[in-house]
Structure 1
Amino acid sequence: MCVYKRDKALRHRGIKDTPSLDRCVPTCANIARTDRHAAGLRRRATVLDQRAAQVPGPLGERLRSNARHLLDLADAHRHTRITVQDGTA
């Protein structure tokens, strides 16, 4: 999900004040992930690992590498997410 702020965008192009979602970068400060997004990343990583087990050589390694990357993104969300604490409302 993009919470667009032009001054934080890594891939801002042109004079538009809207995001170019086809040019997103996973490390952009405008990206906001929910727990649901992180769970989806983990599910996708599992699928990629399962496919990698059936594919030999470089293609299998690329699938495993992509799966590790998705898990890293999900882990980063878990470590940096902002949660509502009881009694803070």
Structure 2
Amino acid sequence: MCVYKPDNALCHRGLKDTPPPRLDQCVPACANIARTDQNATGLRLRATALDQQAAHVPGPLGERLRHNATGLRGLADAHHRTRTTLQNGTA
């Protein structure tokens, strides 16, 4: 999800008076990204699928798949380290 704030948007860095971003132009490291625990779980599942594909692909393509899987796991790990949760059932 994108919590669009133009000053933080990596997709519009250096641009002025631009329309709100499209999600297909999202930059994974952008501060405007808001992930849920379910999103982080999906990232881990996708990383596992990429690793499985990499096991059947030789050479540079397999390495690229493994590299992408590592990146997705890093995003999921960052979510779990920095996520905001309710404390003691209070909002």
Length-normalised TM-score, structure 2? 0.88
- Alpha-carbon shift at residue 57 of structure 1 (Å): 0.8
State the match for 1:78 in structure 2: 80
Question: In structure 1, what is the Cα distance between the partners aligned to 2:89 and 2:59?
Answer: 53
**What does 1:1-89 correspond to in 2, within 5 Å?**
1-12=1-12, 13-89=15-91
Question: In structure 1, what is the Cα distance between the partners aligned to 2:79 and 2:70?
Answer: 14
**Paired-residue identity, %:** 67
- Alpha-carbon shift at residue 19 of structure 1 (Å): 1.9
Question: In structure 2, what is the Cα distance between the partners aligned to 1:5 and 1:56?
Answer: 42
| Structure 1 spans left out of the alignment, 5+ residues | none
Matched length = 89
Question: In structure 1, what is the Cα distance between the partners aligned to 2:44 and 2:24?
Answer: 22
Structure 1 ranges of 4+ moved more than 4 A: none
Residues 8-17 or 35-44, more deviating: 8-17
| Structure 2 spans left out of the alignment, 5+ residues | none
Question: In structure 2, what is the Cα distance between the partners aligned to 1:16 and 1:59?
Answer: 36
The DSSP-based 3-state class of the residue aligned with 1:59 is helix
- Alpha-carbon shift at residue 17 of structure 1 (Å): 4.6
- Alpha-carbon shift at residue 14 of structure 1 (Å): 4.4
Length-normalised TM-score, structure 1? 0.90
Decide whether the 8 Å contact of 1:6 with 1:17 is kept in 2.
no
Q: Pairwise CA RMSD of aligned residues? A: 1.4
Question: In structure 1, what is the Cα distance between the partners aligned to 2:25 and 2:2?
Answer: 12
